[in-house]
A and B are shown apart, each in its own frame.
Chain A
Amino acid sequence: AQTVTQSQPEMSVQEAETVTLSCTYDTSESNYYLFWYKQPPSRQMILVIRQEAYKQQNATENRFSVNFQKAAKSFSLKISDSQLGDTAMYFCAFMKQTYGGATNKLIFGTGTLLAVQP
């Protein structure tokens, strides 16, 4: 069974600074996807970034980037130039790669609550 661990329950960062959120996972699969989701106080689940395990290049989406270390099973999220709107709960999630009609089940970590201070 796969597990996802986020060891930082809460973090704080000053506006405009950079912060890194940690995530480790355990799996025996070789093909999978990893995601970071953001959940602001509105409860909406918003996809931030996604990484395919077969890709060596780290994914980047504007101010958000990941450090994907497949051998170490580590998938950290870096937020550059933090903004007040980045304040949210951040969830790391794992999805086994499927083929031919199998399901896309996400396994979530317990989340990191990020507070961006003005």
Chain B
Amino acid sequence: NAGVTQTPKFRILKIGQSMTLQCTQDMNHNYMYWYRQDPGMGLKLIYYSVGAGITDKGEVPNGYNVSRSTTEDFPLRLELAAPSQTSVYFCASSSGNNLGWDNSPLHFGNGTRLTVT
């Protein structure tokens, strides 16, 4: 199993450009998440998905969009990049459990470092 795979590892964008951060997992997890990590800060949730076709906003969704057309993939889209979006972006997944009190720990990708200048 590759786990959670994020591409690219690094990217530099100019203000106003757009790009998509890719995330795929091969663990058949229902739940997927996008977090951003700013210097000296913890991770903040941007968007999450509980299954294919279902997405919802987290704490800091402005400036981003997501889609979940398959269980495996959860891309994050930046439409008009701004310097405030300079950050490290983490994708994560978890199995969850619809049958009971099972909160599996999240499995993280290795992150994408994005710089907007």
Give Cα A99–Cα B48 distance, bound, in whole angstroms: 17
For A100, what are the chain B residues with a Cβ–Cβ distance below 8 Å? 98
Contact B45 A105, beta carbon cutoff 8 Å: yes
Contact B100 A106, beta carbon cutoff 8 Å: no
Given known contacts A103-B31, A105-B48, A108-B43, A97 and B110 CB-to-CB distance under 8 angstroms: no
Contact A45 B33, beta carbon cutoff 8 Å: no
Contact A104 B106, beta carbon cutoff 8 Å: yes
Closest chain B residue, CB of each to CB of A32: B103
The interface size bin for chain B is 20 to 34
Contact B98 A106, beta carbon cutoff 8 Å: no
Given known contacts A43-B110, A110-B41, A104 and B104 CB-to-CB distance under 8 angstroms: yes
For A99, what are the chain B residues with a Cβ–Cβ distance below 8 Å? 100-101
Most central of A4, A33, A43, A109 by chain B CB within 10 Å: A43
Q: Which of B18-26, B73-81, B88-96 has 4 or more CB atoms under 8 Å from chain A?
A: B88-96
Closest chain B residue, CB of each to CB of A91: B42
- Residues 88-118 of A contacting B (Cβ, < 8 Å): 91, 93, 95, 97-106, 108-111
For B41, what are the chain A residues with a Cβ–Cβ distance below 8 Å? 110-111
Which residue of the partner chain, among A4, A9, A97, contacts B103 with CB atoms under 8 Å?
A97
For A9, what are the chain B residues with a Cβ–Cβ distance below 8 Å? 40
B61-94: contact bitstring with A at CB < 8 Å (1 yes, 0 no)? 0000000000000000000000000001010101
Can you list 29 contacts pairing A with B, beta carbon distance less than 8 Å?
Answer: A4-B42, A9-B40, A43-B113, A44-B108, A44-B110, A45-B90, A45-B106, A45-B108, A47-B106, A91-B43, A95-B103, A97-B101, A97-B103, A98-B96, A99-B101, A101-B50, A101-B96, A103-B31, A103-B50, A103-B56, A104-B94, A104-B104, A105-B33, A106-B33, A106-B45, A106-B106, A108-B42, A110-B41, A111-B40
Which 7 interchain pairs have the tightest Cβ spacing? A108-B42, A45-B108, A43-B111, A108-B43, A47-B105, A110-B42, A101-B98
| Chain A positions near chain B (C-beta within 8 angstroms) | 4, 9, 31, 33, 35, 42-45, 47, 50, 91, 93, 95, 97-106, 108-111
| Chain B positions near chain A (C-beta within 8 angstroms) | 31, 33, 40-45, 48, 50, 56, 58, 88, 90, 92, 94, 96, 98, 100-101, 103-106, 108, 110-111, 113
